[in-house]
Structure formats: structure tokens, C-alpha cells
Structure 1
Amino acid sequence: MNVRTFLSEISGIGYSSAKKLERINLFTVMDLINHYPFRYDDFSNTVSTMDAKVGEKVTLQGEIWSISNIFTRSRKIITKAIFNDGTSPIELTWFNSSWLTKQIAVGDRLQISGKITKYGRKFSILMPQWEKLDSHQPSVVSHQTLHTGRLVPVYPETYGINSKWLRTRIAKLMPNILSEIKDPLPDEIRENMITLQAALSQIHFPKDYQEIEQARQRLGFDELFFIQLATLKVRADWSKKMSVKKLKVKSEKLKVFVKTLPFKLTKAQLRVTDEILDDLQKGIPMNRLVQGEGGSGKTVVAAIAMYIAYLNGFRSLYMAPTEILAFQHFDTVKKFLEPYGTSVGIYTGSRKKVADKSDIVIGTHALLSNKLSTENVGLIIVDEQQRFGVEQRTLLRSKAKIPHFLTMTATPIPRTVALTIYGDLDLSIIDELPKGRPKISTHIVPENKRKDSYNFINTHVLNGEQVYVITPLIEESETLISAKAAKVEFEKLMKVFPDLKLGLLHGRLRSKEKENVINAFRKGSIDIMVSTSVVEVGMDIPNATIMVIEGAERFGLAQLHQLRGRIGRGIKESFCLLYTSDIKSKNRLKHLETTYDGLKLAELDLKIRGSGEIFGIRQSGRFELKIASFSDLTLIEKTRSATQKLLSKNPSLDKYPPLQAQLRNLAPNVMPD
């Protein structure tokens, strides 16, 4: 057995349990060792029943006097036992645990832990943790019991696998595995932190809170350190990778193009354009991330980059995450660039309209097809890059003659996060919206005001305006459940607005069906569009002035801000209505009523909800933090400094084989070359 052994091959786990563990992404022994507790039950207070206080978490040692299953009238099973520690008997109660009568017998000596309650004059503990005092404990915790009488780790669980099961298996594996794990951190980086072996032992089975803190400090440092090492090393390697032909920026032609645009570029657009043009004129391939809210004008900046590539004799590929967005970009880029002699093609699963050598090809993941000619491609643009896997982005990049790579996102990413997880990319931010955009008036709508809000919507639709209704976020991926929820909402609103025309849009529709619904909404044939949250943020319907979001408490602030960015594209006043029945979330949602800066809202998300919720599950993209937080600026700075120090001393890291091995494990999460 070693750290890479599959859990299905481990005695005491087997195939059935291994399949359940796969649901929480645990496949190997190392995965299980790296499955950390999210909290600890403090059962270290060992007392007698006589001294225990009501409401106190305690550990008792004693003997079982009786145990039996009782059937209630509703046929539920309650297991009751009388336990005596020699000072006073106490009643123990378990629900739906009839099997306990086979595991615990009268006369067994147990150690039990739980919260003391009192019914009448009787002391009781509901659902106590327990273990037999004469049971053999694994050597890693031989000084203590495992489930009681200590700080007891509680883990993220899955159906059929509880924390007691996880504790038992981890405790059994730890003694054999710890000796095999090599600490990858050099002494000059580790300084006074504990070793990796000690950290793993202490995070699972701490003697006290100080040991937990020591373990969290070390494991949190490792998480951020290796992310930064991976991204900064890729960046350094990329800059040395190759020298390529410098593109020439033909200023006069560019000035004419910009001057004839139907709008004036903002200062932010001009600044980001200059940063991109500087990259294209260097002798190394561009590798830049452009971040800007929906409606900030990322597409025209991309069009300028593609125009420069065209003037230098190179083709461009532009990959969008969905067909809806690909078609929209196709129409926009065609309008911008075809008057200047460029040919623009579209290449998606349902539509392939490409000349033999179109100067610009816009498409979805279909662009990865070998059937598409990619000869002489010099620029690749990926929109909403976190929607694509690393393998897809790498394959696309490999098709370019000169791999200038521009990625774009409308997701507001706090700067500390961007510098950490996208450290391999240069970062540009379009932090300004075009002038004349109306502010979107945002309101939280409690349940008792729902009817009034429906009247408000009806009035605006009768005035010729259109409405989005976003159904509650059930899962980040577009599942049948999400589609069903959208259909239920659609049918409900058909009854609320019987005289209006409603449309339904979700990711489970066929491409042609989606396109028909979008076109109908764009032409004004649909008054109210009922949609799931994962359908494109880039949809541009100037006549849509109201955004209704059901179950707003389920979304992060930045996600809600992105959704409301679909409206306010025209000149009419726009409204975002947040429906929620969750009183606790109202203070958080109120930030949307006063804050219109996506980055500020993303920072608030970071503080309020933690790093795991920044982009939502599906969008988080590259790295998973289990211990560290992207809001821990001190640790981010510390790990970045340590990374830079190490790379300046030994750029190839050939003097640190354990570090190289750890980086190879991280490689799938970083844009490889």
C-alpha cells in the first residue's frame, strides 16, 4: 500500500464504500488523508454523571445496564439504553439506529460523549458518540480513544459514509502512510512551521486547539505556496519559451477603425487596448486575462486585437462557452470588421459557416475539431475561460502558429485572488462602463410584496418593455433538476400573467430551440423570458428592463451582479428585483441596493461567504482551497514572497526534487504550455 493506492483495494473499505467516496472526490489513499475535518466536537471534558451540567458537552465512562429498540406508532425505531458510570444512571437515546442492539450488549463498558439534557428528573443524552473501552485503537491515536473523550474530528460526509466511518479508516491508514510522505518544503521556506507529517497527524487527531492551529497554518501555507509556485513558474517558463515575430501596429489604420466605431471607447477600454497592443509588439507570445463586467466593452477590445492580427497576415480564433454567445459575438465582430476587408466565419456544433481560410473564426468548443483548418492562426481569444477545461484551452492554443493568447471574463475576481490563481497571466481590468448607461435600481422583494411586484412587472410590459425571470440556483451545472425547476416557474407565471407571452430557456434545450427562443425575445415576440442562471450572461437585449431573480439568497453577490448586468443595456430605467424568503440573507443582499461595482461586491463575497463561494462551484476553475482563504492577505503575501525568493534562486527548481514532484501533481490545474 502507498499514497497512490486506490481506496477500493484497501482492506476495510472495498468496492462499495470506494464508490460512495468517489462522490466526494476521494479515489486514493492520499485523497482520504487530505480529506480534512471542517470542525471538531470537543468531548475532552471527562466527568461523572453527578457532576455534569445540563447543556454541557461531556464524556462519561461506565456500563450498559439495558438496551432495546422501541417502535413508535408511526413505525419509527428508537433505541434506548440505561448507562451508569457508578454515580447516577443516565438514559441514552438514538434514532433510526436499530443495529446498535447487535453492537452493544448489557454489561459492555463504554465511553460516551454528547450533550447533557434533562427530561423531568432524568438526565439524558440524545445521539451520543460511543466506543467500547476495551477496543483496540490504531497506533496513531493509541494514547486516546477515537470517537469520544477528545477533540473529535467531523468531516464532510456523503450518503452511506459518516464521520465515525471516516475517522476509523483514516486512523488505521495514518501510521503506515505518514512514514511514506516526504515533506516537500525546503527548510529555508518552512522556517518554524511544523513538518507536513505532523500537520497531517494534528489536523485529523489533535490533542488540543493549539495543535489544530499549527496544522492549519502549515497546510494553508502549502495550499497557497504551491498555487503561486505553479503559476509563477509557468509565467517564467512562458517568457523564455520562444521568440516570435513581433506584430506591427499600423497606427493610421487603427485610428480610422476606432474613429468609425458607433460609440466612443472609454478610458478603460483604451488603456486595456494599449496593454494588449504592447504585448503583440513584444517578441514573446501574449498571455493576458481581461476582466470586465458585462456591457463594459470587452468584445470591441477583442475585435481591435483581431484586426491587428489580420493586418499582419494572421488569422484569429475566438472561442465562446455557448452557441448563444458565439452567435452574438459573430454578429458583433462581423459588423465591426467586415467593412475593413476581413472575412468572419462561425463554427459551432449546429452551424458551420466558414470560408476555406476565414480571417476570423468564432465558435464554441467545436473549434477544437480537426476538421477546421487552423493554418496561420496567430491569435486565440477565449471568452469566459473558466468554462473550459485546461485540456481544451491547451489544445486550442496548440493550433496557433504564434500562440498569442487572450482570455476574457465577466466574472468579478478580487485582485488578490486573480494574482494568486492567475499568476501566470498578465491582468487587465476594464473598470468603467460606457457613459449613458442607466443605473439599475435594485430592490429586495419580501414574500408579502410579491403580488405588488407582479403588478409592477405587468405595467412595464404593457408599456412595451421586456423581463427576465431567473429561476433559483439548484446546482451550478445545468441538470435535469434545474431544467425542471425552470419549467415549474414558467407554468406558474403563465397563470400569473395569462395575457402576456412567456418564453422558457435552459441549458437542456437543443441548440436550435435555444436560438429560436433568443431570437423571439430579441424581436419582442416574448414579453417575459424564464431562464436558468447558467444561460449566457452576455445576452444583449436593450429592451429588457426588469430582472427578477428567484431564490436570490442562493447566489453570491458577484453572481447576482452579473445577472443584473443583462439589463440596463438601453436608455430606459431598469430594475432588478431580488425575491427571497430567507431573513438571514437580507443584510447581505442589501449591498446590491447600494453597490454597483462588481469587484467591490466580489470582495464582500470573499469576506462574507469565504473563498469557496467566490465564483460558485462550477466557475471556481483551477484550484480548491480546503484550509487557506483568498481573503488572508498576510498569508498570500508571505507565500508569494517565499515563491519569488525560491524561483530567483533556482528557476528550474532542479535542486528541489520534492517540489518538482508536487508541481507535477498540480500541473492539470495550470495552463500548460
Structure 2
Amino acid sequence: MGYAHLDRPVQFLKGVGPKRADIFKKLTIGTARDLLYHVPRRYDDASTILPVARLEVGMDATALGRVRSRGVIPTRSRLRIFQAVLEDESGMITCAWPGQPWLERKIREGDRILVTGPVKFFHGRQLHPREFTVVSRAGKEEEEEKARGSAGAIFTTYPSTDEIPQWVLRRVFEENLDWLLEHAGEEEVFPAEVLDPLGLPGIAEAFRRLHRPETLQAAEEGRRRLAFDELFFLQLIHALVRWRETEREPGIRFQRTNALIRPLHESLPFRLTGAQVRVLQEIYEDMTSPRRMTRFLQGDVGAGKTLVALFAMLLAVESGHQAALMAPTELLAEQHALKIRSMVEELELPVALLTGSLDARARAETLEGLREGRIPLVVGTHALIQEGVVFRQLGLAVVDEQHRFGVRQRMALGDRASGAPAGKGADGARGKGSDPLPRPDVLVMSATPIPRSLALTLYGDLDLSLLDELPPGRTPVTTLLRRPEQRDEVYAGLEKELAAGRQGYIVYPLVEESEKSDLRAATQEHARLSQEVFPHRRVGLLHGKLSGEEKEGVMKAFREGELDLLVATTVVEVGIDVSNATVMVIEHAERFGLSQLHQLRGRVGRGAERSWCILVAEGGDVARERLQVLAGTTDGFEIARQDLRLRGQGDLFGAQQHGRDPLLRFADLSRDEALLLEARTLARKVVESDPELEAPAHEAIRRHLELRHRERLEMWKVG
């Protein structure tokens, strides 16, 4: 099976050429295959397009017509509005784009344009497009027929640039699509017996439906097939990693003696929730089996993940091993160490803290204790995986807040064989023979709930455990949405709580003012609040640029009641547990994701008193509608689902915060969960039967994996 045809450089396709090929690279189109995989941005069904005369105020409508005139209209408020008069056979309507005068360069008189948006009344009927497409330029009406495709019913709109407008892309597709579809079968990796039960078309037919659909349903069927391929190969990599991590290499078979677990259990002033008991049973079964544990633990804010992790760590220690917990920030590592030390105090277990800010003497003592096995429990940051860190017998690696670590960082701690220095995994430490020493079990914890589809995509190589029950007695937090002009009212409510002897937070999204942003900086606001608004209160400041020692000093003062109010950036997002804090004010709440806001909100409501979270937000109806989701529920899993739907799935293997993962161009995790589960089932079945992908039936899968997913394979260290 060759790939020669679709590897053809795009410059050799009809209608492209060398000069235009350079511009196509801006759309990441370098080969015929790239063009084939260029995902349409939207489809419009010609049968739903309304004549202009039938557009009524209050409608959300799509119209198609010719631009009779256009121009930029100034207003008293200095807002410049681009307007275009759209005409079809039934009449005319003004289309208005407030604040977008640059569209004058894109839309010309005589152009045929397709517009979609609400119809409003402002000096007569106006359509305010949120989407528009130039279907054909003036004098080039034949382009419109190409835009409709052969069936004439569906308009396909592609991502484009100023240098490669829609009509150019459509012409290139129209001139090359038959040839592309003729060779699209080269991309096929599944036989009909796999596709038919799932109701999925063959790959060539999927591309035809994607680029030349006869109906909107046909376009969706094409997308689903290509989404399945993406999800399958992602799950295949996860399945290969899982096989390598748990089946190919020996694990540690821990012996549960209850020498430490029982005393901790009996010392707790509360009962474990049913979910904690269930998850601990899953973890204990993993750790006492010969198979290496690689498990992902997620739960809502306050569900008790840290306590579950501590029980797992104690199982490792009572079996004669060491346990390490890695957190993403020094502040969180310090909070974990403080909490764990207090819980194991009666067990007389040393708990070390290893962060980048430790002085040389303390670091040397800690490293020696880990190397000699005198320190059974250690909490740290990425300093745990730096050069020179050696464990005598590391049995369990707990990674908190994994989504803040790169994949390699998470795997680096889990790769640590007993006695292996940082930077070396099981292959870096050998016993007397050639057999590698067992690598530690791994437990990954997520700070906030994430939807099942996202969990399976990010952590598909791990077994999933779910803490879906909160401890009894926690007071629900009341969430209120306020505008900036209501800030005095917010401060009055905060002062009322402080006067009653309670504490509060005010959170800002930035550390200091930047030239590109008008956000209120925590450093500036701390000065204003402490001098003008709360001069009679003790106001502290916590932000990411403080040293570890300074952060811990501020937090200690807040915990011990020496501060009434803490002005902070999002460093308070996790790990801070002050039961006397009952109010959190979040400024510029529209700049945060819902899951992050939910995590911040979890810092209050930890005691018996009624607690409040006040979201001070600017923005229009869309931004406030999004924040109403948070005000309407305290269910972290529902919030996570809505956040995924509203913000997009992001670059799942990178730092991007929203949008579509470039390697999941067709799959939409907010609606493709059932497809994902089918892909996961098939991928695991393939790996269980043929982990090296050597069978003739899997040749196409193996070749596609090596050619199209090399970077991801390298990231996960799968040979």
C-alpha cells in the first residue's frame, strides 16, 4: 500500500502552482493529503436561505444576495460600523457589523455574500451577521455554482485567508476533488467488517461526503468517520502505552499489613464517604497485584482526593517502600506537606519537602534521606525529577494537578526505578542480573472534574477512578454575579463578613499591569484596598512572583487568623484550606474558564458557616450566560461538561487554553463520547491480540501510525 499519490506537493495540483503553494502553507496545506484533510468550517443548506423580504425582526436567519452598496458609518461614540446593503430578487436589507470597519477591504460592491445572524430593528430592519461568506466576486458568478457543489443544495465554507479567499479554495477543490477521491482509499485502515457495525462509510466515501455533501446529514456522516479515525489512533497509542507500562514489565506486589493504614483510619474524626471506600478498594487491589498500577483519580472540589492518595502512600510505606507526591507549584507542595504531616503525626513518619527554593543544606539532607531510605514520604515539585534525586526504594508516585505538567514530566516520576537517579527510568537501574528493577506504581490526580470523554482522551492509558460524592457537612457556596459598577455593594457585603470575625479572598487574574491589558493587577489593587477600602483591616498579598518562603509566610498568617483579607492571583486556586474563609470575590471573572472558577470557589465553604462566591464580570450577554452556569450549580462534573462545550477541547497535548486540538480536527469531545468509546474498545482489542502490531491484518494500522503519528509516539515513548 503506497502513499505516493497523496504525498504529491500541493503546487502540482491544478490551480495552485509554486507561488500560491507558499501561501497555502499558511493553512498548513503542503501536500494533496493536507488538502483532502482540510476541514470545512461550516455548511449552509440552500433550502433554509430566506428571501430578504421574509426576514423579520427577532429572527435568526440566513440570507444570500448581492452587495448593492457598502461603506463605513461613523457614530457619536466613535464606534465605526461597516454596513452593506444586501439585495436579492425579493428586496433589500442593511447588514451591519459594529466595530468592524476593516470589512470594507473584504466585501465589495457586486459580491454575492451569504450572511447568518439575528435580525434587529435600528433605523429599520438590520441583519447583524455573526458569519458571512463571499460566495462569488463581482463578475464571477460561475464561482457560486462551484460553491454549491455538484448537488447544488449545500454551500461549503472552508477556513481561508485574505491571500486565499473562499473562491480560490473552492476552485482548487472543484478542479482536484475527483482525483483526490480516486486516491483517498490509500488512507483506509479498516475493513468493512469493522466499519459496517458502527454505521461508518469507507474513507473515500467519507471524504466525498465531507467535501461534496448532498445533505447536511451526509456531511456529518463524513465527519464522524474521520473523527473515528482520529480517536482510534489516539486510543491506540494509549493502549500501547498501557501495555508497555502494565503488562510488559513487572510491577511491585505490595503487602497490606494495616500497620499504618488502620491507625490513620481510626484517627480520623469523620467517616470516609462511600466513594472514597470504593476508590481505595480499587487502588488496594491494583497495588497488591503483580501488575503495575497506573491509575487516574478525579473528583469534585473537596471530595477528599488527597486523603485517598495518603492511604495509598501508606500502603507503599508499610510494605517497605517509599512514596512521593509531586505537585505543580511550591505553594501547593507546601500545603500538601503541611496537611500530610498533621495527619501522620501520631504515626511518627518523617515527611520531607523537596522544592527548588530549599537551601543547599536542607536539600542535601533530604537527598541523603531519600537515598538511604530514612525518608519514607516526600512531597515536592518538579524538583523531584531533577538530576541527583535518588530513591532507595520508591514504590508509589502520586502526581497532583497532572494537566499542569507535560506528559514527559508525569512519566518521568513514574519511570523512576528503585535506586535510579533522575533522568533514568527502569533501564537506568539494574539488579545484579539484567532484569530491570520494578518501577513505582503511579496515581495521577486531577484538581477539578473533567468530562469522561476528555478524561479518556487525556488519560486513556490509565485506569479511571471517580470520587463522585462529597463529605457530609460542607455548606453549599452561594454564587452571585455582579457588574463592576456594583463593586461598592460587594465590598459592603465582604466587610459584613469580616466584621463577624470571618476571612475572605479577592482574586485577580494577573500579577501586574501589562501594556496590552487593562485588567486590575493584584499588586496595585492590594495597595488601594488596604489604604482606601479596608484601612482598618489586615490585608495580605499573595502572588506567583513571591519566593516560596514569602508565600508560606503569607499563607501561615492567613491560616492563623493574622490576616483578615487575602488579595491574590490564581495561586490560591488549589490546596488552600482555611475553614474560616467565607467570602471569595473574583474580579474579571469573564477571563477565567468555568472549571477554574469552580476550583477557586472551592477555597470557601470549608467550614460550618454560610459562604459566598461573588463573580465581578464585564462583558455582554454571552459572557454572563456562561457565568450563569456556575451560579446555577455546584456540580463540578456538570460545570466541566459545559466548560468543554463552551470553550472547546483545547490543544490536549500542549499549552493552548481553548479551541480545537490540531490533532483532533474532526472529533468533538463534547458530542462524540459514544464514538470515542467504540474507538477505545477497538484499540484495546487490537493491542491485546497483537501488541507489536505485527499481524498482516494490522499492517495498514501500523503504517498509518508510524507515518501520521510519529510525534505523538515519541512523546509517549512508544517504540
Using structure 2 for the length normalisation, give the TM-score.
0.73
Tell me which of 216, 221, 232 is aligned to 1:214: 221
1:621 to 1:330, Cα distance in 2 relative to 1, 3 A: farther
> What pairs up with 1:313-392 in 2 under 5 angstroms?
313-337=320-344, 339-351=346-358, 353=363, 354-358=366-370, 359=375, 360-392=377-409
| Pair 1:541-2:575 in alignment | no
Match of 1:635 in 2: 675
Tell me which of 683, 699, 708 is aligned to 1:657: 699
1:456 to 1:639, Cα distance in 2 relative to 1, 3 A: same
1:238 to 1:46, Cα distance in 2 relative to 1, 3 A: closer
Which segment drifts farther, 630-639 or 275-284?
630-639
Per-residue CA deviations over 1:583-611 (Å, capped at 9, x if unaligned) read 456666555556433234434555x6376
Instruction: Provide the rounded CA distance (Å) in 1 between the counterparts of 2:84 and 2:640.
Output: 50
What is the Cα deviation at residue 259 of structure 1? 1.9
Does the CA-based 8 Å contact 2:292-2:441 persist in structure 1?
A: yes
Which segment drifts farther, 613-622 or 126-135?
613-622
Which segment drifts farther, 506-515 or 165-174?
165-174
| Pair 1:439-2:488 in alignment | no
> What pairs up with 1:55-454 in 2 under 5 angstroms?
96=102, 112-114=112-114, 129-131=135-137, 151-154=154-157, 179=183, 182-191=187-196, 193-200=200-207, 202-204=209-211, 206=213, 208-261=215-268, 263-337=270-344, 339-351=346-358, 353=363, 354-358=366-370, 359=375, 360-401=377-418, 402-419=439-456, 421-445=458-482, 449-454=486-491
Amino acid at match of 1:130: S
Instruction: Provide the rounded CA distance (Å) in 1 between the counterparts of 2:312 and 2:212.
Output: 55
Percent of aligned positions with the same letter in both sequences?
Answer: 32
What is the Cα deviation at residue 406 of structure 1? 0.8
1:426 to 1:637, Cα distance in 2 relative to 1, 3 A: closer
1:5 to 1:484, Cα distance in 2 relative to 1, 3 A: farther
Amino acid at match of 2:333: A
Which segment drifts farther, 312-321 or 156-165?
156-165
Per-residue CA deviations over 1:53-72 (Å, capped at 9, x if unaligned) read 475866679xx9x9999998
Match of 2:41 in 1: 38
Amino acid at match of 1:183: E
1:315 to 1:7, Cα distance in 2 relative to 1, 3 A: farther
Does the CA-based 8 Å contact 1:289-1:428 persist in structure 2?
A: yes
Amino acid at match of 1:247: F
Per-residue CA deviations over 1:450-503 (Å, capped at 9, x if unaligned) read 4333211012112332212233699xxx99959864456546645443443434
Corresponding residue SS for 2:649: helix
Does the CA-based 8 Å contact 2:251-2:440 persist in structure 1?
A: no
Does the CA-based 8 Å contact 2:303-2:467 persist in structure 1?
A: yes
Corresponding residue SS for 1:659: helix
1:260 to 1:84, Cα distance in 2 relative to 1, 3 A: closer
Does the CA-based 8 Å contact 1:440-1:576 persist in structure 2?
A: yes
1:119 to 1:562, Cα distance in 2 relative to 1, 3 A: closer
Instruction: Provide the rounded CA distance (Å) in 2 between the counterparts of 1:591 and 1:82.
Output: 37
Which segment drifts farther, 389-398 or 489-498?
489-498
1:5 to 1:592, Cα distance in 2 relative to 1, 3 A: same
What is the Cα deviation at residue 403 of structure 1? 2.5
Task: Give unmatched runs, 5+ long, in structure 2.
Answer: 56-60, 419-438
What is the Cα deviation at residue 4 of structure 1? 7.9
Corresponding residue SS for 2:263: helix
1:97 to 1:221, Cα distance in 2 relative to 1, 3 A: closer
1:124 to 1:209, Cα distance in 2 relative to 1, 3 A: closer
Amino acid at match of 1:195: G
1:648 to 1:393, Cα distance in 2 relative to 1, 3 A: closer
Instruction: Provide the rounded CA distance (Å) in 1 between the counterparts of 2:49 and 2:460.
Output: 49
Instruction: Provide the rounded CA distance (Å) in 2 between the counterparts of 1:164 and 1:562.
Output: 46
Per-residue CA deviations over 1:158-186 (Å, capped at 9, x if unaligned) read 89887667667777887787637522233
Does the CA-based 8 Å contact 2:260-2:314 persist in structure 1?
A: no
Corresponding residue SS for 2:275: helix
1:386 to 1:499, Cα distance in 2 relative to 1, 3 A: same
Corresponding residue SS for 2:443: strand
Amino acid at match of 2:300: E
Amino acid at match of 1:434: P
1:173 to 1:501, Cα distance in 2 relative to 1, 3 A: farther
| Pair 1:578-2:615 in alignment | yes
What is the Cα deviation at residue 43 of structure 1? 6.5
Instruction: Provide the rounded CA distance (Å) in 1 between the counterparts of 2:616 and 2:493.
Output: 14
Match of 2:713 in 1: 667
1:411 to 1:158, Cα distance in 2 relative to 1, 3 A: farther
Does the CA-based 8 Å contact 1:602-1:614 persist in structure 2?
A: no
Match of 2:635 in 1: 597
Task: Give unmatched runs, 5+ long, in structure 1.
Answer: 105-109
Amino acid at match of 2:391: T
What is the Cα deviation at residue 351 of structure 1? 2.0
Per-residue CA deviations over 1:425-461 (Å, capped at 9, x if unaligned) read 2222233333433232333335675433321101211
What is the Cα deviation at residue 152 of structure 1? 4.3
What is the Cα deviation at residue 412 of structure 1? 1.0
Does the CA-based 8 Å contact 1:296-1:433 persist in structure 2?
A: yes
| Pair 1:530-2:557 in alignment | no
Instruction: Provide the rounded CA distance (Å) in 2 between the counterparts of 1:159 and 1:395.
Output: 44
Does the CA-based 8 Å contact 1:537-1:562 persist in structure 2?
A: yes
What is the Cα deviation at residue 202 of structure 1? 4.1
Instruction: Provide the rounded CA distance (Å) in 1 between the counterparts of 2:260 and 2:357.
Output: 35
Corresponding residue SS for 1:469: strand
Instruction: Provide the rounded CA distance (Å) in 1 between the counterparts of 2:565 and 2:95.
Output: 57
> What pairs up with 1:484-563 in 2 under 5 angstroms?
485-487=521-523, 490=526, 493-494=529-530, 495-533=532-570, 535-553=572-590, 555-563=592-600
Amino acid at match of 2:228: F
Instruction: Provide the rounded CA distance (Å) in 2 between the counterparts of 1:620 and 1:361.
Output: 37
Amino acid at match of 1:215: G
Amino acid at match of 1:131: R
1:629 to 1:312, Cα distance in 2 relative to 1, 3 A: closer
Does the CA-based 8 Å contact 2:252-2:440 persist in structure 1?
A: no
Instruction: Provide the rounded CA distance (Å) in 2 between the counterparts of 1:293 and 1:80.
Output: 50
Instruction: Provide the rounded CA distance (Å) in 1 between the counterparts of 2:80 and 2:39.
Output: 34
Does the CA-based 8 Å contact 2:650-2:657 persist in structure 1?
A: no
Per-residue CA deviations over 1:268-298 (Å, capped at 9, x if unaligned) read 3333223222211100111111212333322
Amino acid at match of 2:278: R
What is the Cα deviation at residue 120 of structure 1? 12
Does the CA-based 8 Å contact 2:647-2:659 persist in structure 1?
A: no
Amino acid at match of 1:667: L
Match of 1:107 in 2: none
Amino acid at match of 2:491: Y
Amino acid at match of 2:195: R
What is the Cα deviation at residue 546 of structure 1? 0.6
Which segment drifts farther, 112-121 or 568-577?
112-121
Which segment drifts farther, 8-17 or 185-194?
8-17
1:628 to 1:441, Cα distance in 2 relative to 1, 3 A: closer
Per-residue CA deviations over 1:560-589 (Å, capped at 9, x if unaligned) read 332211112233332222334544566665
| Superposition RMSD in Å | 5.2
How many pairs were matched up? 649
Amino acid at match of 2:576: M
